[in-house]
Amino acid sequence: MNRPIADAFYKNAALHPEKTAVVCDGQSVTYGELASEVSRYSHFLLENGVSYGDHIGIPMLNNIFSAILIMAANEIGIGLVPINPSMPPAAINSVFASGDVKHLIAHAAFLRRVGASLNIPGRTFCSDGEYEGAVSFSGAETCASDRPVIPQITGDETLVLIMTSGSTGDPKPIDLTQNCKDIRAKIFTELYSLNGDDVILAGTPLYHTLAVRLVMLPLILGGTAVILPRFTPELWMKSVQESKVTFTIAVSSQLSQISERIGEEYDLTSLRCLVSSSAWLEPAVKERLINKMHCEFHEIYGTSEVSSPTDIDFRDSASKLRSVGKCVPGASIRIRREDGSEAAVNEIGEITAKSVQIFKGYYKRPDLTAAAFDGDYFRTGDLGYVDEDGFLYYSGRIKEIIVTGGINVYPQDIELMLLENPAIREAAAFSLPDDKLGERIAVIVAPADGAKITERDVAVACARNLADYQQPRRIIIVHEIPKNSMGKISRMDLRAMYGGEG
């Protein structure tokens, strides 16, 4: 029986039962309390139709309940499939089907909004109070508080399935096992010299893999996890000050907002190390942070599949401000030419990465998994080069993905939704540069012959059928979408054409 993450957590709970394990929104739990809760919830799930190996869909909110559930999943060998709660029902069903989701755990507001439209073959659990047709967690209080015995558990069980595509696209479930998450935690521990004295802030939504990692890291180490209930620059800084946060990883869109406010009213000196992740950070923001923060400041590069193969500490590498760093322990980078050969120093090609942090594969999609690798190296779909000192530079993307606020958006998902409307003949989604979000989404639409379509019609369709992060910030109506010389719509050309305007 091997449960790498849960075993480490329970060991810490036995050593320091009175120590604070998790803090969120004015509430906190000790290791002793959390361990009892994790055991009780584990027994409760097992007694209510959930079995080892099952997958549970969950619009995961930033609260202590989610921390309990993440540890319970480790404890009994079940997989969590976190989703963005703003996703429309059709997209959720598609994601759940591709991830073999059997049960659902959700809050009442979510169940009221979309519960009736979801296909859940197993049980539905309501995480906050009673909801008709759903199992309430109130029964967990009377469950046993000893650790349940799961003889078959090895650590190779799926812990989290992360979906890379949304509504109409083909979802690619990234399979992250307990062992994989444990290795990633160990690499981070070594890289940033983390230990049981650290107070680690999870300031991004828990339905993304980054925050799940930031909650598990301190619980593995015997430190304290601070969960930010939601993000505003003020809440982030207040939380750092009040909980004396020592370490966190933030996404670049958050850091650009925070960097404008540092030094105003909050004391951030408890921070020993700050890491930027998930998208390239603007040089101006980077310089502001380096000048204003009195702590280590790093940037990491990576994808959900390979985690973070490179890292840069800007204090040690002041001359490499534009780089995303050098390989971390257990990782190597290879720049690939189109013909598959290895690129020379300073030559741009596709960034491929080999790493001990690698994911298990795309769940039940060996075809996609095989296509994503060149030998042992994962093909990121990003372009970049490595300089003579071994520093990696990010130059752009091969895949046509829009990255807005650090989140990947597939333009096809938006286009296919718009084209379902018979009044629309042509539709294209593309990115425009944006100071805060990195990129923002624009859509261009041409009406069918004789049909009339307004910006408002498009806005309503998007608001109804797309998730928050897929919403266009600009809508353009034309008689005919401009094409390239091959008669094709080119998102790059559209970006060039409309990028210069407000």
Site for other proteins contains 456 (CB under 8 A): yes
CA distance 18 to 34: 10
Shortest distance, position 22 Cβ to other proteins, whole Å: 16
Q: Are 55 and 137 in contact (CB under 8 A)?
A: no
Q: How far, in Å, are 71, 182, 225, 308, 356 from residue 187 at the CA level?
A: 20, 9, 18, 9, 9
Per-residue binder mask for other proteins (CB under 8 A), 76-115, x = binder? ---------xx--------------------x-xx-xx--
Site string (43-62) toward other proteins, x via CB under 8 A: ----------------x-xx
Shortest separation between residue 5's beta carbon and other proteins, angstroms: 25
Closest of 329, 370, 323, 330 to residue 351, by C-alpha: 323
Nearer to other proteins by Cβ, of 25 and 493: the residue is 25
In the window 9-48, what residues touch other proteins (CB under 8 A)?
25
x-or-dash string of contact with other proteins, 160-199, rule CB under 8 A: ----------------------------------------
Rounded distance, CA 469 to CA 71, Å? 28
Work out whether 403 is an interface residue with other proteins (CB under 8 A). Answer: no
Residue 208 lies near other proteins (rule: CB under 8 A): no
Of 452 and 488, nearer to other proteins (C-beta) is 452
| Residue with Cβ nearer other proteins (160 or 228) | 228
Report residue 62 as tokens. 């930033």
Kindly give, in sequence order, each residue whose CB lies less than 8 Å from that of residue 187, ignoring residues fewer than 6 positions away: 307, 308, 328, 329, 330, 356, 357
Place of tokens 């209930």: 229
3-state DSSP assignment of residue 248: strand
3-state secondary structure of 440: strand
Residue 263 CA to residue 197 CA, distance in Å, equals: 25
Judged by CB under 8 A, does residue 463 bind other proteins?
A: yes
Binding other proteins by CB under 8 A: which of 99, 205, 222, 384? 205
Query: Does residue 495 touch other proteins according to CB under 8 A?
Result: no
Q: Site for other proteins (CB under 8 A): which residue of 151, 341, 366, 464?
A: 464
Measured at the alpha carbon of residue 323, what is the angle toward residues 319 and 328, in degrees to the nearest 5?
110
Tokens encoding 226:
């601070």
Tell me which of 28, 30, 52, 128 binds other proteins, using CB under 8 A.
Answer: 128
Residues that bind other proteins (CB under 8 A): 25, 59, 61-63, 85-86, 107, 109-110, 112-113, 128, 205, 229-232, 235, 456, 459-460, 462-464, 468, 471, 473
